[in-house]
A and B are shown apart, each in its own frame.
Chain A
Amino acid sequence: MQVEFRNIHKRFGSVHANKGITLNIPGGCIQGLLGENGAGKSTLMKVLSGFITSDEGEILLDGRAVTIPSPAGAIEQGIGMLHQDPLDFPPLRVLDNLLIGGRRGLIPDRRAALKALKEIEAQFGFSLDPDAYVDTLTVGERQQLELIRLLWLGARVLILDEPTTGISAPQKVKLFAALRKLSAEGRTIIFVTHKLEEVYQLCHRAAVLRAGALVAEIEPPYHTENFINAMFGGEIPTPPRQPPPTTAPLLALKGVTVEDARLQVGPIDLTVKAGEVIGLAGMEGSGQDLLLRLCAGLLRPTGGEIALGGRALQNATYHQFLRNRVKFMPADRMTEGLVAGLSLTEHFALNAEVHGFFINYKQAEQTAVERIAEYSIRGFPESPVESLSGGNQQRTLLALLSAPLHLLLLEHPTRGLDLESAVYIWKRLKERARSDGTAILFISSDLDEVLQYSDRVLVFFAGRASVPLSAMQTSVEELGLLIGGVPLETARSTAGMHQPEALSR
């Protein structure tokens, strides 16, 4: 089925998430869809799958304009979405998962469902135990189940949202084979991913979104630099660089491994000097976020050693990390960073290092006034934090980190900020690094930012970290290739060969 987006606009409050996206996907095509988090991919896919409706623009299926009122309406039109976290029912059995919301009637037709399950499984070489509980399946098997369900319901357009995160290599091979087969049958596949090599392996064509707009449509033969250029912007920074500090080592990671339900990270060896700034680059979810939380004490390593100033911290609690002057700034401001309902003054009072029994509100307010001025926060001491804009919440988070620190861990420190704020915040951070000797590790999806402010850079790919690269000796192109999973030696030679002006936009 042919899918056509025409001038799709979607706004959430002041955020313009889709800015007039027009994209035509022919039937039987495997279309890659790329872009950083917040680029507008998921908004566009939510519009297509009926979760939200667009403010402007239309969607055409086989040339016919359609309205998609709900996810159920989408599947009636033949559009099925496979969510990154499969939307199934973990405590129920495989067969029951197929039956919920299926054909109407009082008694579920288990025999028909079982027959369909077996048939579709046979087609793609899947094999699921119909009586197994879904929460005993792997993520890959749960995806297979969802795929089977969508096909059983007659999906002719399939949206897959980062389907390869957390599944094993053989399952990935199986999935890709299934997708190729489906495409050969004439079904349209939209493949949302962060992983370039998957686009190369699988997709007939790819589209890149950035900041809500479609910035590139790319067809094979693919070149990594085209993607990186489109996703991260092609401006090459010429920052005034300072030499890296020559201080004593502060943080030492030795063979550290960490994992969550989806990804195993490491082993990582890294030594960070006092006052050094290390940028962590990589596609979202490549392991850099886990390493950052590990260094903050929010995750425990599954192996290896962490030492801060010679003190072993691999078994320390989060509060012991805090006492060792390690602090963490989360990207998700209102879930992990700030407490909705409390004012700025109350936040600064909570943040006080030493305090007595009673709150000295006068002093807390004074601190708030000072910090508000210092960090140019647009708000009043008594403003509840949820009433601030995102940028001002971010500044508040930074202002809460103003006590002297050994180690500062930042998730996307300038995401969503205007350029002026970003420059200002980095000026402050660099000052702290140079004068107080605070070591900084930060994650950013903005490669310019990574190169501009880091002394060294670690690039993550599928849970593995590159050797630390000197920011002075690397380039946006090289980082881009490494992010895409190209080995370092290859990246070195490739990046050297291509000149920036030769890149297509």
Chain B
Amino acid sequence: MEFDQLIIGLAGVIATASPIVFAVLGETLTERAGVINLSVNGMILLTAMSGFAVAATTGSVLLGFAAGMLIGALVGAVVAFTSITLRQSQVAIGFVLALMTRDLAYYLGSPFTGQNGPRVPPAPIPLLSDIPVVGPLFFDHDLVVYLSFILIAVTYLWLFRTAPGLVLQGVGERPASAYVRGVDVNRQRYFYTILGGALVGLAGPAYSLSIKAGWQGTISGLDGIGWIALAITIFGGWNPLRAATGAYFFALLQWLSLVLQPVLTGIPSQVLQVAPFPLMILTLLLVNFGSTEWVRRRLSALPEDQRRAVNALIRRLNVSPPSALGTNFRKQ
């Protein structure tokens, strides 16, 4: 393969990963607050459709993105209300919404199927895009891709470098400790479930107005991406940087499976495409291994200092989920 082609391919990988980046960042924030929003798959479809529909109707790409974020936030609000205020199972509500919003997207989107609509124009950054290799890789995209870069940094800094980010970490880890420090745990959870929903809501328009412009109904090829985003959130260990890396890794595998198909006839392309999933399970296995009953029993036989060393090692892996994920918080 020519070097230029490789660069073009990799630039494509970076671009196609951007909607997944939005989704995993949003889900990471939500789960960091202790809420699991399982409806990402349907949300991406619904916001892709509505983003496209609004943009096609109004001619404004910006309004399309706004619509996507609004609807994402709305779905997040439903998850928050039902799980936090009504204390229903987060899994149940998220799962139902995942299916319902998908079908809602197909139903409401049917008049727009195959229509022409606006799309985000390419916007190479002057000067920077002329730098060899780096330029075409990072600075010859559209605003959507640049926004994904910015949001990775912002989310990371917010979570690990700001006071509200510290509070967010605390809420997901130990709500009771956050509560005695004067944090309104449930309000935090509402906020991040809605904010996370809005970020996931960017993913849909990012597809329908940029990466895979247009709305093709059931053959849009977007069904399943949300489940992948959920997997990548775990793979990323609830860390925005690692989650984004996971998204790029996934896009890379998909690209490789296409490119390498003629080269590696022995290895079926599906093996590469599906690789993130066994990897995710393996990651979870590694992470949770230390907390299973039988491992803990073995561990408890160790002397105190060794035990703490092992615990610290597990910490360093830094992929354990927020301890309070999926639970309800009540004062007391």
Check A-B contact in the complex, CB < 8 A. Answer: yes
A positions within 8 Å CB-CB of B: 51-52, 70-72, 75, 81, 87-92, 96, 99-108, 133, 135-136, 300, 302
- Residue contact B167 to A135, C-beta cutoff 8 Å: no
- Residue contact A90 to B174, C-beta cutoff 8 Å: yes
Residue B297 CB within 8 A of the other chain = yes
**Which of chain B's residues has its CB closest to A52's CB?**
B332
**Which of chain A's residues has its CB closest to B173's CB?**
A89
Q: Is the interface of A mostly helix, strand, loop or mixed?
A: loop
- Residue contact A90 to B173, C-beta cutoff 8 Å: yes
Interface size for B (C-beta < 8 A) is 28
- Residue contact A87 to B176, C-beta cutoff 8 Å: yes
- Residue contact A101 to B164, C-beta cutoff 8 Å: no
Complex A-B, nearest 6 residue pairs according to Cβ-Cβ distance, in ascending order: A101-B181, A72-B182, A71-B180, A87-B177, A108-B163, A100-B170
- Residues of A contacting B170 with CB < 8 Å? 89, 92, 100-101
Distance of A38 Cα from B312 Cα, bound (Å): 36
Known: A81-B180, A90-B173, A96-B166. 20 other contacts (CB 8 A): A71-B181, A72-B180, A72-B181, A72-B183, A75-B180, A87-B174, A89-B173, A89-B174, A90-B174, A91-B173, A91-B323, A92-B169, A92-B170, A100-B177, A101-B178, A101-B183, A102-B181, A106-B163, A108-B162, A133-B312
Q: Of residues 190 to 234 in B, which have CB atoms within 8 Å of A's CB atoms?
A: none
Distance of A92 Cα from B332 Cα, bound (Å): 23
Residue B315 CB within 8 A of the other chain = yes
Residue B87 CB within 8 A of the other chain = no
Residue B301 CB within 8 A of the other chain = yes
B320 is contacted by which of A91, A92, A102, A103 (Cβ under 8 Å)? A91
| Interchain nearest-CB distance for A216 vs B (Å) | 29
**Which of chain A's residues has its CB closest to B322's CB?**
A91
- Residues of A contacting B180 with CB < 8 Å? 71-72, 75, 81, 87
**Which of chain A's residues has its CB closest to B168's CB?**
A100
- Residue contact B178 to A106, C-beta cutoff 8 Å: no
Residue B187 CB within 8 A of the other chain = no
Interface flags for B310-332 (1: CB within 8 Å of A; 0: not) read 01100100001001000000011
Q: List 8 A-B contacts (CB under 8 A).
A: A51-B331, A72-B181, A90-B173, A92-B173, A101-B167, A135-B312, A135-B315, A136-B312
Q: Of residues 23 to 79 in B, which have CB atoms within 8 Å of A's CB atoms?
A: none
- Residue contact A107 to B315, C-beta cutoff 8 Å: no
**Which of chain A's residues has its CB closest to B181's CB?**
A101
- Residues of B contacting A52 with CB < 8 Å? 332
- Residues of A contacting B164 with CB < 8 Å? 106
B179 is contacted by which of A71, A89, A135 (Cβ under 8 Å)? A71
Distance of A213 Cα from B18 Cα, bound (Å): 64
Distance of A88 Cα from B170 Cα, bound (Å): 9
Distance of A421 Cα from B315 Cα, bound (Å): 50
- Residue contact A89 to B169, C-beta cutoff 8 Å: yes
- Residues of B contacting A99 with CB < 8 Å? 163, 166
- Residue contact A107 to B178, C-beta cutoff 8 Å: no
| Interchain nearest-CB distance for A99 vs B (Å) | 6
A106/B173 contact (C-beta < 8 A), A72-B182, A101-B178 known: no
- Residue contact A136 to B181, C-beta cutoff 8 Å: no
Q: Of residues 277 to 323 in B, which have CB atoms within 8 Å of A's CB atoms?
A: 297, 301, 308, 311-312, 315, 320, 323
A133 is contacted by which of B176, B315, B332 (Cβ under 8 Å)? B315
Distance of A88 Cα from B323 Cα, bound (Å): 13
- Residues of A contacting B174 with CB < 8 Å? 87-90
Distance of A52 Cα from B170 Cα, bound (Å): 22
Which of B163, B173, B179 lies at the interface centre, i.e. has the most chain A CB atoms within 10 A of its CB?
B163
A70/B182 contact (C-beta < 8 A), A51-B332, A99-B163, A100-B167 known: yes
- Residues of A contacting B166 with CB < 8 Å? 92, 96, 99-100, 108
A75/B312 contact (C-beta < 8 A), A92-B169, A100-B166, A107-B162 known: no
**Which of chain A's residues has its CB closest to B171's CB?**
A100
Distance of A287 Cα from B180 Cα, bound (Å): 30
- Residues of B contacting A51 with CB < 8 Å? 331-332
**Which of chain A's residues has its CB closest to B314's CB?**
A135
Distance of A107 Cα from B183 Cα, bound (Å): 17
Distance of A302 Cα from B304 Cα, bound (Å): 13
- Residues of A contacting B176 with CB < 8 Å? 87
Distance of A300 Cα from B182 Cα, bound (Å): 41
- Residues of B contacting A100 with CB < 8 Å? 166-167, 169-170, 177-178, 181, 183
Which of B162, B174, B308, B312 lies at the interface centre, i.e. has the most chain A CB atoms within 10 A of its CB?
B174
- Residues of B contacting A89 with CB < 8 Å? 169-170, 173-174, 177
Distance of A51 Cα from B330 Cα, bound (Å): 11
| Interchain nearest-CB distance for A432 vs B (Å) | 32
- Residues of A contacting B331 with CB < 8 Å? 51, 70
- Residue contact A136 to B332, C-beta cutoff 8 Å: no
B182 is contacted by which of A75, A91, A136 (Cβ under 8 Å)? A75
- Residues of B contacting A91 with CB < 8 Å? 169, 173, 315, 320, 323
- Residue contact A107 to B161, C-beta cutoff 8 Å: yes
Distance of A81 Cα from B177 Cα, bound (Å): 12
**Which of chain B's residues has its CB closest to A80's CB?**
B180
| Interchain nearest-CB distance for B249 vs A (Å) | 25
- Residue contact B163 to A136, C-beta cutoff 8 Å: no
- Residue contact B177 to A88, C-beta cutoff 8 Å: yes
- Residues of A contacting B311 with CB < 8 Å? 135-136
- Residues of B contacting A75 with CB < 8 Å? 180, 182
Distance of A72 Cα from B301 Cα, bound (Å): 39
- Residues of A contacting B177 with CB < 8 Å? 87-89, 100
**Which of chain B's residues has its CB closest to A107's CB?**
B162
| Interchain nearest-CB distance for A230 vs B (Å) | 29
- Residues of B contacting A96 with CB < 8 Å? 166, 169
**Which of chain A's residues has its CB closest to B311's CB?**
A135
Distance of A72 Cα from B176 Cα, bound (Å): 12
- Residues of B contacting A88 with CB < 8 Å? 174, 177
A106 is contacted by which of B162, B181, B320, B323 (Cβ under 8 Å)? B162
**Which of chain A's residues has its CB closest to B160's CB?**
A96
**Which of chain A's residues has its CB closest to B161's CB?**
A107
| Interchain nearest-CB distance for A165 vs B (Å) | 16
Distance of A103 Cα from B312 Cα, bound (Å): 29
**Which of chain A's residues has its CB closest to B179's CB?**
A71
- Residue contact A302 to B301, C-beta cutoff 8 Å: yes
